[in-house]
Amino acid sequence: MTGPDRPASSNLDQPDASAVRHLRRDVVAMAPYTPGEQLGKAIKLNTNECPWPPSPAVLAVLGAIGADQLRLYPDPVSRELRRAAAAAYGVSPEQVLAGNGSDDCLTIIYRSFLAPGDRVACPWPTYGLYETLAAIQGVELVHVDYKLAERAWTLPSALARQNAKVVIIANPNNPSATIVPIAELRRLADQVDGVLVVDEAYIDFAEADGAKASMIPHLDQHPNLIVLRTFSKSYSLAGARLGLLFAAAPLVANLAKVKDSYNVNVISQALGTAALNDRDRHLDQVRTTVRERQRLERALAAFGWSWPESAGNFLLCEVGPRAGEIYRALKERGVLVRWWDKPLLSSKLRITVGRPEDDDRLVALIRELW
């Protein structure tokens, strides 16, 4: 077995195997990132993908990809995609970098800013990859716990004082789906002596009702601000692996030096451009998801569960000591949700909003099990 699904211990099973001893010791010692499970025909409510197909305009572009596009290397700097992103978000193309998923954009940031001895800080609990990338880069990750109130998770004020070169906030946060207001993020950008990365993977859901939640319009006031977006969630393109990074033009020019030469393939560039040009369909899909989330919330409330107010396409449900048992029972019955056996999270399940029929199946199973 190869790739990310390889068991966590495989490197360590044979510590004396000839080539393993040549690996960096911190790589051998590090825990791999654990991606959400993928099980044949299971209903997947565990990785916050959108349950709807991509826009018909995107699928038409996919069907029209030609032999020459595949034969030749793609545009190394994704010009057309960046132009479309610049037009959609009101910035210049020089302020946009495209990545092989926003995970690639995060890797580019770590490689560019962080050398051994440097620190990266984030509020906790949050997206686990921030920690994995710190281990790969050989830098220290400092967690500062969120202040947890029942329906809100607020930023710890100590976050700005961690002597970190890079501070990362997922906004809305994964796994809580909670959101930090723009004014607070702008204050933090002014306070940190380094860069503030705001990972807006789920921001489209927060803006579904017309609210202003994104930091992209504030880039010009904060030269140390980097904003990330992904096509994996609200655009239903997780399989295409496509993300965007927005920052001041001089930052983008330097970050581009450390990316892989052809980091975004020709198909993903074309699909992303088509998706950005189909704004109405996108907004429609986001609003449908939020309405379905509200329906799911009404159904789950019947079990006495609670969750922080969600600004995303998922809910972090407080289930109690039976959370792990419910996760396993749902999995046995073909429904995947996310559970972590970790401090602050082991009593909770993170549930992605699915199609109505999938959510109904989930609720029916919980009714049996609870």
Ligand X SMILES: Cc1ncc(COP(=O)(O)O)c(C=O)c1O
Position 127 contacts ligand X (CB under 6 A): yes
The three-class DSSP label of residue 329 is helix
Beta bridge partners of 317: 349
Q: Report how many residues bind ligand X under the rule CB under 6 A.
A: 13
Nearest residue (CB) to ligand X, 197 versus 252: 197
Q: Of the ranges 98-106, 282-290, 297-305, 324-332, which one interacts with ligand X (CB under 6 A)?
A: 98-106
- Tell which one of 57, 88, 142, 238 touches ligand X (CB under 6 A): 238
| Rg of the chain taking only CA atoms, in angstroms | 21
Position 201 contacts ligand X (CB under 6 A): yes
HEC-encoded secondary structure of 73-132: CCCCCCHHHHHHHHHHHCCCHHHEEEECCHHHHHHHHHHHHCCCCCEEEEEECCCCHHHH
The binding track of 211-230 with respect to ligand X, each residue x by CB under 6 A or -, is -------------------x
The binding track of 241-260 with respect to ligand X, each residue x by CB under 6 A or -, is --x-----------------
Neighbours of 111 (CB within 10 A): 16
Position 358 contacts ligand X (CB under 6 A): no
Position 51 contacts ligand X (CB under 6 A): no
Position 137 contacts ligand X (CB under 6 A): no
CB 173 within 8 A of CB 184: no
The CB-of-199 to ligand X minimum distance in angstroms stands at 5
Measure the CA–CA gap between 64 and 211, rounded to whole angstroms: 36
Measure the CA–CA gap between 97 and 256, rounded to whole angstroms: 7
Nearest residue (CB) to ligand X, 336 versus 365: 336
User: In the block, which residue shows the tokens 């099990």?
Assistant: 369
- Tell which one of 44, 46, 48, 275 touches ligand X (CB under 6 A): 48
Position 234 contacts ligand X (CB under 6 A): no
Position 362 contacts ligand X (CB under 6 A): no
Measure the CA–CA gap between 6 and 25, rounded to whole angstroms: 19
Q: Could you list the residues that contact ligand X (CB under 6 A)?
A: 48, 101-103, 127, 170, 174, 199, 201, 230, 232, 238, 243
